[in-house]
Structure 1
Amino acid sequence: MDEQAQSNNKLTLKLLVAVLAMFGFGFALVPLYDVMCDTLGINGKTNSEASIQPQGMVPDTSRVIRVEFMAHLNQGIPWEFKPEEQYLDVHPGQVIQTAFVAKNNSPTAIIGQAVPSVSPGLGASYFNKIECFCFNHQPLESLATAEMPLIFYIEPDIPDTIHTLTLSYTLYDITNKVPQSVEVARVEPSGNLIQQGAKP
């Protein structure tokens, strides 16, 4: 009887250790996966800080890559949000300037934050933003409209297998997550932008 009890205790202990090991491995997979994706460039993330165009970089005019632009609103944010152009055909190494347009249809000021992604994910590490509205919060007063600039280039050594990149932004309402004193765009009743001021 004692031997049976000892055997059961050992089995229970082994099972407990196995369960704990599985939980630990599961938690470890998350950072390992992030590191692997960042290293291989397969997660669609783009640079979160401004890039500097390398000196002497020459556009590769023998290649053309189509960059498609998409805009999405997170559920609940009462804005209009769209790219000025649906797509652009660009040469790798060429510096391109375009913009997205946002309008706050809410009766109150809202602070937005755009989160970008690039697909296919393998192309994300070759897509570099020199200037992007996603680097900063985007506060807008009620009925204000803002043109939000984007300047980027694609590295010339992007793989030949990539012919199209899709740059997608999702806009989130972060009004309740930032300090109350921020710069907001103000408009006249006609909708014309007249000044920048502090949010009351």
Structure 2
Amino acid sequence: MLELKNVSKQFNHRQILNKMNLTVNDGDAIAIVGPSGAGKTTLLRCISGLEKIDSGEITMDGEPFDPYTNRDNDRVIGVVFQDFQLFPNLSVMENITLAPTLVLKQSAAEANQAARQLLDQLALSGKEDIYPYQLSGGQKQRVALARALAMNPKILCYDEPTSALDPDLRHEVEKIILKLKKAGMTQLVVTHDLEFAEHIADKIKHVEAL
């Protein structure tokens, strides 16, 4: 279980998060919704360790947890970024297997086998050797998801996963999140799409601009 207690964050003296509280139970899919500028992505970045909180407390399974300094953070919290952040000079397979071989110390054979299984699950078989520029937006998103899942994280976070997707791809993302939820994956989804949130989430956290 992940808990945020009275978490606050400022940028340039502007309060973005003010004493935010959030509880994420194991296996939950939580949607964080709100208007632009409400701090949804900032909250996600604090949870994933990309930003340091100014005050408050984060706990994991009842123990103090600092995502910003935790050395094994990729194994705890995975992130699928809105802009995917794939390495353009690496193939699909290399993008997925880089962190498992470097961080988890998996052998190349082990990492490749796991990556092929993920690609098969995400309907990307046959794309192993191509590069990000050759992929559609929906395919890039699924590769980014496979890369995050390859680290076996406890919690998977998404930043606006349906942004700029057509209705068919939006439905595909919805199916993937629901499939992972059925498998017991804990998920946090930042979205502006309330209808999408209602379809995939056990709980919806509304945040408002300060």
Bin the TM-score by the shorter chain: under 0.3
Structure (1/2) with the larger strand percentage: 1
Whose relative contact order is higher, 1 or 2, with alpha carbons under 8 Å and at least 6 apart? 2
Instruction: Please identify the structure whose Cα radius of gyration is greater.
Output: 1
